[in-house]
Amino acid sequence: MLEYQVTTHSYEETEKIGAQMANLLKIGDVVVLNGDLGAGKTALTRGLARGLGIKKNVKSPTFTLIREYQDGRIPLYHMDAYRLESSPDEDLGFDEYFNGNGITVVEWPQFIKDEIPEEHISINISRLSDTDRQIVFKLHGKKYADRKFGELQ
């Protein structure tokens, strides 16, 4: 497993890291986001969407579970598994997303951990202050070995 770390100092910098990530991701990639409420998970995803050329406003899918964005160069599937804490065995067709034709981003992945593919990118976002965030990327699997996550800044 490869691990990389970056610190951002504003909401905009966190979005910028997401936009840079878009150039490193490929169809079929799965990204899981860990962090407390307000840590920056949706900000990172919003930047990723912008980097993919998605024009729609990206919002947290807390109440819909999954938001699909098809208008970029690669489709983006943004999931929020927080509400599944009480019913993690519900079959929502995750395999179709994880093995589909887009990039899948999952917030609160611990509630569907048995569904997450073995090969994935895990991102932990920690709040250091009101504006500063530490973002740690862990690349799980050989398919990510050649990705240049160490160059994100």
Residue 151 lies in a domain: no
Residue numbers of the chain with a pLDDT score lower than 50: 88
Q: Output the domain CATH number for residue 40.
A: 3.40.50.300
132/64 Cα distance (integer angstroms): 29
Residue with tokens 């899918």: 61
If you ran DSSP here, which 8-state letter would residue 58 be given? P
DSSP string, 2-57: EEEEEEESSHHHHHHHHHHHHTT--TT-EEEEE--TTSSHHHHHHHHHHHTT--SP
Instruction: Check if the beta carbon of residue 37 is closer than 8 Å to that of residue 127.
Output: no
Residue 153 lies in a domain: no
Residue 16 lies in a domain: yes
Question: What pTM does this model have?
Answer: 0.90
Residue 75 lies in a domain: yes
Residue 79 lies in a domain: yes
Residue 133 lies in a domain: yes
Residue 94 lies in a domain: yes
Full residue range of the structural domain in which residue 64 is found: 2-144
For residue 34, list its beta bridge partners: 124
- Measured between its terminal Cα atoms, the distance across the chain in Å is 20
Total domain count for the chain? 1
**Torsion from C-alpha of 135, 26, 92, 139, nearest 10 degrees:** -40
pLDDT of residue 125: 97
